[in-house]
């Protein structure tokens, strides 16, 4: 019964409308921020609201990306893999918006000041390192990059998405440390840890089945 249900769900996920729908859903946060910015609905400090919102959505999208493989494996939904590349690029999109908002509203696009701030403040340095790593993953996401790197090397590189998530969490933790407000940090950390453990558990299960 469960197998039939998984097959039916997987058949739905193969539909042509799934990717366009996922694309539009991923654009909803950006569309809302754009609308709110032009209609003065970002509160008393619009610049801070944009920086924080784009950072929050980067973390959320990273969690969604990390959820694809465990859900695909445990629920027997191979068609979910079709969405992973697009979701990863949206995570990078929101990370780029986060960096752009900080560079524009906090630093006024003053490159020397920006570089000094990155070097001076550890939480910004960690966030910038996460962005650089995400950039490498975004650049190597096309199929041509898979062929150029080879499947195994490409997979090893793209497992660094967990490192990106860890750096993003550390960035978020240090940012919230000043206000001693860690509730959201712990929620994201719990989600990322759970997704990592699910992936490890699946690997161990696969090895035991192969050895049996």
pLDDT above 90 covers a percentage of the chain that reads: 54
What mean pLDDT do residues 19-29 have? Answer: 96
Residue 163 lies in domain: 2-211
pLDDT confidence of residue 76: 85
pLDDT confidence of residue 101: 94
pLDDT above 70 covers a percentage of the chain that reads: 98
**Looking at the predicted structure, is the pLDDT value of residue 212 above 80?**
no
- Of 30, 171, 35, 3, the residue nearest 94 (C-alpha): 30
Q: Is 137 exposed, middle or buried (0-12, 13-18, 19+ CB in 10 A)?
A: buried
As for how many domains the chain has, the answer is: 1
Q: Is 119 exposed, middle or buried (0-12, 13-18, 19+ CB in 10 A)?
A: exposed
- How many angstroms separate the CA atoms of 102 and 5, rounded? 46
Query: Average pLDDT over the chain, rounded to whole?
Result: 90
* pLDDT tens readout for residues 6-19: 788 888 888 889 99
What mean pLDDT do residues 18-46 have? Answer: 93
* pLDDT tens readout for residues 108-132: 888 888 889 888 898 999 999 999 9
């Amino acid at each position: 019964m469960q197998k039939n249900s998984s097959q039916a769900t997987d058949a739905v996920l193969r539909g042509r409308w799934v990717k366009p729908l996922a694309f539009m859903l991923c654009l909803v946060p950006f569309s809302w921020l754009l609308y709110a910015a032009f209609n003065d609905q970002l509160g008393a400090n619009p610049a801070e609201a944009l920086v924080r919102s784009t950072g929050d959505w980067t973390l959320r999208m990273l969690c969604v990306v990390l959820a694809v493989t465990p859900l695909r494996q445990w629920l027997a939904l191979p068609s979910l893999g079709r969405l992973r590349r697009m979701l990863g690029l949206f995570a990078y999109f929101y990370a780029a918006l986060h960096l752009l908002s900080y560079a524009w509203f906090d630093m006024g696009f003053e490159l020397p000041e920006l570089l000094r701030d990155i070097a001076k403040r550890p939480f910004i340095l960690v966030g910038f390192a996460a962005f650089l790593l995400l950039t490498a993953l975004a650049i190597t996401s096309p199929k041509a990059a898979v062929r150029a790197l080879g499947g195994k090397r490409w997979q090893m590189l793209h497992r660094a998405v967990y490192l990106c998530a860890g750096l993003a969490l550390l960035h978020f933790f240090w940012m919230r440390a000043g206000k001693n407000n860690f509730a959201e940090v712990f929620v994201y950390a719990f989600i990322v840890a759970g997704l990592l453990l699910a992936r490890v558990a699946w690997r161990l299960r696969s090895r035991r089945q192969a050895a049996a």
